[in-house]
Structure formats: structure tokens, C-alpha cells
Amino acid sequence: MDLLAQHEAFLRAIFDAPDDDTPRLVYADFLQENGEDVRAELIRVQCELARLDDDCDPGRWAALEERNQWLSQAAVPWDEVPTGNGVTFNRGLWRESFAEGVAVTAEDLDNPLKFREWVVRVNPAWYGETKLYVRPSVRPLKHFGQGMWALPFLSQVSGWDLSGHTEIFEYPPENEYFQAFYAYHSGDLVINPVVTTSAVDSLVRHRGASRIATLDLRNNNLDNDAARALLRSPYLDNLQRVRLLEGNRLHGKVWRQLLERFGEDVVE
């Protein structure tokens, strides 16, 4: 097992037993053995802080908290955190504060190995997230390949938010009178898709789709072929909610077929 796979195995074990500090402390020893002393100490200090009760020695708490503040700043590779808006800690492990779960782009999935390395270094607490969403990108996802399904930090993800991003296009008013008072006014709703019909098809044709409990496909300008892909999939028996109608181009009887297969309480 290579070094990256060992990191991933430890992180998987930690979040498979999130209330048990033992896997975290074993991982801290592993980090120290591999030259990552600051990350190792951060885990130990935050675990000890979490164990302290209201009756603990105030001096001990203050010393640990001061140490924690320094370690937190030193351990996180801040220049690689995409949003730059801070991180949320989970007993020595962290993730972006802004990200609502695991956040991917089409470019991330072009190189799964590089993405795996980045997650271990920059967002290790993603191993505990149960939701995935797609960040805005220069191009939509066109395919979910085997490399994506093999990403170890997605094995626990059951909520898939693949909804496109919308914005109101603002443009100058034509009337010169109003230009003196208003620089811009509301125009058209612009949809920026994050997945294509082919991506939806590849997603639900894979047996890994059996993990999906909620699927949000709104605002992707999808057509009936995307709905038919859902209907054909043999792996969506655990689906509890699918959001598809808004911002897509569904016509004819396909909507009724979705309701018949998944239920009116599931499809919207």
C-alpha cells in the first residue's frame, strides 16, 4: 500500500467511527512517523480539548487552547483552500467552511489521483461528509467515470447535489432618463449547467448509484433523455428524493413515467 492509500485508509477508519478518538490518535502517530509533526500534534491537542470537562484546570485549558490556535494556523495549507474563507475543524481534521459537503468540478475529475492527494492535504474531513455538490466551472461534467466512483472520500456520500447555478443577467436600461438613476436593471435568468445528459446517464448506469438517496438535477437544461436515463437505471432503488423539473426541458409523458416509477412523494 503506497503512502497516499495509507492516509486514505486512516481517514476512512476515523470517519467510520467518528466518536472514537483511537483511530485519530493512531493516525497522529503515523503522521509524525512520516514527518508531519504539526498535523500530528494538532490532532492530539484537539482530541484532548474535546475530552476536557467544565471542571478541568483552567491553566491546562488555556495552554492547550493557545497551542491549538498556533497549530491550526500552521497545519492548514491556507493558500490551497479554494474559498480562502476559513476552515471548520473536526478534532484535528478540517474542511472548507464554505463547502456544503464534498465539492467537485469537472477539472477535478480529469485527474482523480491528483484530486485524492489534494483532499488528503487540504480537505481531510471530507471523508466524513455525506453530500456532494458541483462547484461552478468553465465547463459542465460530461461523464462520471470509474475513477470518480473509486474516490475513497465519496464512499459514504448519499446526497448528490448536481443542480446548475442560476443568476439574473443585468444589463443597462435603454431609456437615457433612467440611466441617470439606475446603472443596471434585472434581465433574463441565466442557467449555468454543471452536468450534461450524458453525465446523468453515466451516473445512474453505474452500480454505485445504489448509494444515492437524494439527487438534485435542477437548472441544467436537461431534456427527456436525462429523465429516460433515470427510468432505465436498475440501481436507484434507494432513491428518496429527485429534483428535476425546475430549469430543465421535460416534455410529454416522461414526467408521468417518473412519477409512476419513483412515486409522487419522491419526484419534484
**What CATH number does residue 171 fall under?**
3.80.10
Are 63 and 107 part of one and the same domain? no
Domain count across the chain: 2
Q: Is residue 62 part of a domain?
A: yes
Are 161 and 116 part of one and the same domain? yes
Sheet of 131-134: strand order equals 102-104, 131-134, 159-161, 214-216, 241-243
220: nearest Cα among 142, 111, 130: 142
What does the block give as the cell for 204?
Answer: 445512474
Q: Is residue 166 part of a domain?
A: yes
Tell me the CA end-to-end span of the chain in Å, nearest whole number. 44
Which of these three, 23, 54, 83, is where a domain ends?
83
pLDDT, residue 169, reads 64
pLDDT digit of tens for each residue in the chain (268 aa)? 899 999 999 999 999 999 999 999 999 999 999 999 999 999 999 999 988 877 788 888 889 889 999 999 999 999 998 866 789 999 999 998 877 799 998 899 889 999 999 999 999 999 999 999 988 787 888 999 888 899 999 999 999 999 998 877 665 555 554 444 444 444 567 888 999 999 999 999 999 999 999 999 999 999 999 999 999 999 999 999 999 999 999 988 999 999 999 999 999 9
d(CA 239, CA 248): 20
Q: What is the DSSP letter of 97?
A: S
pLDDT, residue 178, reads 46
Domain holding 39, by residue range, is 1-83
Task: Please indicate, yes or no, whether the overall pTM of this predicted structure exceeds 0.75.
Answer: yes
pLDDT, residue 184, reads 40
Half-sphere exposure of 163 (CA within 13 A, CB side): 16
d(CA 189, CA 179): 22
Are 154 and 192 part of one and the same domain? yes
Are 16 and 126 part of one and the same domain? no
Are 166 and 229 part of one and the same domain? yes
What does the block give as the cell for 7?
Answer: 492516509
